[in-house]
Amino acid sequence: MPRLGTTEREPMYPFVAVVDQEEAKEALLFSLINPAVHGVLLLGQKGTGKTTLVRSLSTLLPEIQVVELPLGSGEEMVLGTVDAERALATGEVTVKPGILSRADGHVLYIDEVNLLPDHLMDVILDAAATGRYRLEREGISRDFTARFVLAGSMNPEEGWLRPQLLDRFGLAVHVLALQSVQGRGEVFKRAQAFEMDPAGFTARFEKEQRDVSNRLKAARERVARVTISDDLLAKTIEAVIRTGIHTHRAELATLRAAQARAAWKGREFVTWEDIQSVMPLALQHRLPSKDIQHVVTWEEIEEKVYKGGESENRHRNGWIPAPFYRKKKARGKERR
């Protein structure tokens, strides 16, 4: 599947063939299932597979393509401009749409998002949140539809986005380099196999890709019917408040991602386990700067939530304790 704007068909690395990086995969899937999550920010050093992972989303749904914003893009490239050639040829003043307009209905990917000028980042984030933007150029004022899923990536070593901009991303995930010899060896083997025979390599993962694609389509249809009980809604918001985070976007992202996870799991209701799973992704970039430097876990959030009066608060009013979820996650890590 070619990336939007390309003229030649390019072989795309299958989504399911990316080794490990399960949290990043889930975050991206949740954003496709429920665009109201409002985007995913991938944090990690160069060479950890962030770009490959985002590009591979286009292999899951034929109607979804990945539109990439070139590094160094200016306002005219992002928003659009007057079509000067047509104006000179015909005298008619028309608008040449920008990347935001071309991304409508697709995924907009911004690599090294932290290096983009703040004013452009503001415009892109506003468009991602509202689904439209206004272009005003040389006497022309026109509204464009721009309903896209935003995916950004950045290397924190090159500097962070301002907190106000970080907060506009729904979820954030640290994408870490694999530390096992076996895992890194598998990355090499798959990369080499794909380079030598893209079609043959893709065929190896055809069934798994099809299964994920079908499951994703079903979840996208189901998510609008997923409900959250008032009790669970209150518990989620209380947990966010107890972490010291003030922005409402923290619970909005948590609850919307939890709805997406429930739909992905085949349910039409959110459970506390859904909340526990996605809350670290929603709070990762909203906690104090000393915390966002490393991977935030549910255990850390739980410690903040129950700090001071743990024993009374843990079991009061129906709170579900976390050990079951922690053990489940630990068993999963042991299997890997």
CATH number at residue 107: 3.40.50.300
Q: What is the pLDDT of residue 287?
A: 86
Q: What is the dihedral of CA 246, 250, 255, 260, to 10 degrees?
A: 180
Q: Where a domain ends, among 148, 174, 200?
A: 174
Residue 68 domain-assigned?
yes
Residue 1 domain-assigned?
no
Whether 246 and 139 share a structural domain: no
Whether 82 and 155 share a structural domain: yes
Q: With beta carbons less than 8 A apart as the criterion, state whether 53 and 94 touch.
A: no
Residue 327 domain-assigned?
yes
61 to 103, 107, 215: CA distances (angstroms) = 15, 11, 11
CATH number at residue 286: 1.10.8.80
Residue 10 domain-assigned?
no
Q: What is the pLDDT of residue 85?
A: 60
Catalytic residue among 137, 204, 242, 249: 249
Beta bridge partners of 110: 152
Whether 93 and 228 share a structural domain: no
> In what helix (H) or strand (E) does residue 37 lie, and over which residues does it extend?
none
Residue 38 domain-assigned?
yes
Q: What is the pLDDT of residue 325?
A: 40
Q: What is the pLDDT of residue 15?
A: 97
Residue 193 domain-assigned?
no
Q: What is the pLDDT of residue 89?
A: 57
Whether 259 and 124 share a structural domain: no
User: Is 249 annotated as catalytic?
Assistant: yes
The residue range of the domain holding 27 is 15-174
Q: What is the pLDDT of residue 156?
A: 86
Residue 217 domain-assigned?
no
Distance between CA 89 and CA 104 in Å, rounded? 29
pTM metric for this prediction: 0.84
Distance between CA 89 and CA 91 in Å, rounded? 6
Whether 39 and 156 share a structural domain: yes
Domain count within the chain? 2
Q: Splitting the chain (336 residues) into consecutive groups of 10 residues, what average pLDDT does each group show?
A: 46 94 96 95 91 95 92 84 61 74 94 88 90 79 88 88 88 93 96 96 96 97 97 96 92 98 98 96 88 84 70 41 41 46
